[in-house]
Structure 1
Amino acid sequence: MTSGERTDFWSEHVTSCQGLMDYRYPPTDDFHAGTIRQRTDTYQLVTFWSDTIRYARTAGQVRRDPDEDYRFLLPVAGELVLRQEDQEVRLTPKAGCLVTFAAPFELLQDASMRALIMSIPAREVNGRLNRSSPLVAGLDLASGLGRVVGDMLTGLHEERDTLTGGRFDAVSDRLVELLCMLAAGDNRPTAPGHLTEVEAVVRQYIREHAADPDMTGATIAQALGWSLRQVQLALHHAGTTPRDLIREERLRLVRDRLRAPVYRHLTITELAYASGFSSASALSTAFRRRFGVCPREMRHAGPRPVGNTRRS
């Protein structure tokens, strides 16, 4: 394969993974690149490396190929330079960035660069951050919560051969939750720290008790020793409500159980009751609205993420 054929292949391959973009390659007699891809119906994680290249997504490409989802970029080696909305962020290892494909951008990388890029549905970010606009910010992943997020992302890549689709999604859900907490802390300085702590504890409680059919905002507040107003205010700052968060965690619980062989003996109705829903019809309606398929269709879907290695 000639260098020109390799660059053509790389352009087509990246477009198929990420969306419509332009590519600018330096004059060279040789070009090498590769990817390792993990994917489910909800998330995608790509590890990529290549020689020097410039990527650009233009306003026309945004219109022709709409994509509201976010990408979380984390270099493992080398440097990335991202420009979007009159902002520039230089990313090196231990510094990540959350960026949308719904607005034009320019991304430049050097020849020694190796990075992770995770595709995250917009609904997973906009609700938690109460926004629907580009977010370009350098996130410190060297310590604290940032280090936890970075370790989870690299762990997803390293354990790709051992994770089922359900476990890949489950870890990705938690990673995105923590990532949004990290981004909110960096971009909402006026939010009281106490409310952020309340939000984290409430989310943890709801996750652990999602199957309880009697759980409400009032019962959560009582169990945690806070007022209902405190719980509501903390979740309001995160762009959600107790009711919405309870439904979201129950839907995630059902999704994970649909993919787990240990629950395959349960009917959809039994699974609905066992996961806190009042009926199978209530579950099916909410599930289709959230994931785009009915519970039965997801149960019969493939259980593992797609993992591919591509080189050019």
Structure 2
Amino acid sequence: MYSWNTAAPIASVGAWGEAFTSLHGAGRISVPDPAAPWAGSLDWQRSATYALALCSGGQEVVRRDRRHIRSDPRGTYELLVPLAGTAWVEQGPSSAEIRRGSMVLCDIDRPLAFAHDADFLSIAFIMREQDVAARSLAVTRKPVTLDSSIGLGRVVRQVVATLQEEREQFSATTFDIACDRLLDLVCLAAEGGTDSAPSGQRARVEASIRRYVREHACDADLDGTRIARALGWSTRYIQQVLQASDTTSRDLIRRERLQLARSRLASRSWAATSISQIAHACGFGSHAAFTTAFRQQFGRTPTDVRNDALHPRRTSPSKAEPSTGSGEGDALG
């Protein structure tokens, strides 16, 4: 179920810690004066797969170490998109200063430190590690800093802001479809600076493979051999490129077909077409095989997605009650 929360002031450090860690995972939050009034807010939206959180608060340092990760593993990545102010992110040997015009992509299940001043305002795009890895292993190895003032980075920032602003217009299905495309852009932007590296050619070949599969996903005879022949590479090289991203041509074709089927199930223009017909049109040989694969991929049945899209029932949960807490201590979410 897709849900959202309209921002409201959070007046205590304890309540802030609970709200913050429920979205981002357990960590240690430190503030300059634990006894002082706290002024912060969280405005979030989320489905079972993705989340966006608009965050503002006072000066703080957040540390997520191995103990926190063991107690509260998330299996997620976050793209932090500053709108105002300055923040600092440190993970392993890498560190970055980010402000409006830059973004950083981090693995939440690796120890990290995050600090910002009182005027910091940002949106966090939260995504599953498995979905990031399915698109690009290159961006899973260390924090990636992106320029959000030009090119794909600017497009990413604009899409993130628009999704946050228009949260009430989405169902679970349409939100996930939009976020799938956003994640595609994030990975492309993250790899954009590697074209001069030895892996640059492989990244370009992989992008060509993914584009070809997306354009021809419904073709019944689509397989690794046809992809290789169409792109002018050997089948073995295609296999090596995809293996480096922890996938295969079969898995890639299956995932693109499922995403296309989900988009059609969510479209009113396909409402008169049966689920079996959509499955067949998207390259699946049987309704049963399609339903099984669909549930494994999205955690929902095709019927659930169709009903959600045609008869959305979106709800905004009530605000959590404020609670008290210290200004420096563990927030285990």
The superposition leaves residues 188-239 of structure 1 with CA deviations (integer Å, 9 ceiling, x where unpaired) of 8644434433333332232233222222233334455665456445444544
> Aligned to 1:215, which of 206, 209, 222?
222
2:14 equivalent to 1:14: no
C-alpha distance in 2 between matches for 1:245 and 1:162: 30
Q: RMSD in angstroms over aligned alpha carbons?
A: 3.0
SS in 1 for 2:167: coil
- Which deviates more from structure 2 when the two are superposed, residues 254-263 or residues 175-184? 254-263
- Which deviates more from structure 2 when the two are superposed, residues 65-74 or residues 204-213? 204-213
Is the contact between residue 139 and residue 190 of structure 2 (CA under 8 Å) also seen in structure 1? no
Amino acid at match of 1:13: A
C-alpha distance in 2 between matches for 1:261 and 1:55: 44
> Aligned to 2:61, which of 54, 70, 85?
54
Is the contact between residue 59 and residue 117 of structure 2 (CA under 8 Å) also seen in structure 1? yes
C-alpha distance in 2 between matches for 1:69 and 1:209: 30
Is the contact between residue 102 and residue 134 of structure 1 (CA under 8 Å) also seen in structure 2? no
What's the counterpart of residue 197 of structure 1? Answer: 204
What's the counterpart of residue 101 of structure 2? Answer: 94
2:67 equivalent to 1:67: no
Is the contact between residue 191 and residue 237 of structure 1 (CA under 8 Å) also seen in structure 2? no
Structure 1 residues 306, 25: CA separation in 2 closer, same or farther (over 3 Å shift)? farther
Structure 1 residues 169, 161: CA separation in 2 closer, same or farther (over 3 Å shift)? same
Structure 1 residues 36, 310: CA separation in 2 closer, same or farther (over 3 Å shift)? farther
> Aligned to 1:170, which of 177, 180, 185?
177
SS in 2 for 1:70: strand
C-alpha distance in 2 between matches for 1:199 and 1:308: 41
Is the contact between residue 83 and residue 99 of structure 2 (CA under 8 Å) also seen in structure 1? yes
The alpha-carbon deviation at position 159 of structure 1 amounts to 3.0
> Aligned to 1:284, which of 291, 305, 328?
291
The alpha-carbon deviation at position 161 of structure 1 amounts to 3.4
- Which deviates more from structure 2 when the two are superposed, residues 69-78 or residues 300-309? 300-309
What's the counterpart of residue 191 of structure 2? Answer: 184
The alpha-carbon deviation at position 131 of structure 1 amounts to 6.4
Task: Extract unaligned runs of 5+ from structure 2.
Answer: 1-8, 323-333
Structure 1 residues 158, 10: CA separation in 2 closer, same or farther (over 3 Å shift)? same
Is the contact between residue 10 and residue 41 of structure 2 (CA under 8 Å) also seen in structure 1? no
C-alpha distance in 2 between matches for 1:63 and 1:133: 19
Residue correspondences, number:
310
- Which deviates more from structure 2 when the two are superposed, residues 86-95 or residues 196-205? 196-205
What's the counterpart of residue 139 of structure 1? Answer: 146
The share of aligned pairs that are identical, in percent, is 33
Is the contact between residue 75 and residue 114 of structure 1 (CA under 8 Å) also seen in structure 2? yes
Is the contact between residue 39 and residue 305 of structure 1 (CA under 8 Å) also seen in structure 2? no
The superposition leaves residues 13-58 of structure 1 with CA deviations (integer Å, 9 ceiling, x where unpaired) of 2222222222222215321111221212211111111121222223
- Which deviates more from structure 2 when the two are superposed, residues 260-269 or residues 240-249? 260-269
Task: Extract unaligned runs of 5+ from structure 1.
Answer: none
Is the contact between residue 36 and residue 307 of structure 1 (CA under 8 Å) also seen in structure 2? no
Question: What is the TM-score with the length of structure 2 in the denominator?
Answer: 0.80
What's the counterpart of residue 158 of structure 2? Answer: 151
What's the counterpart of residue 259 of structure 1? Answer: 266
C-alpha distance in 2 between matches for 1:98 and 1:50: 21
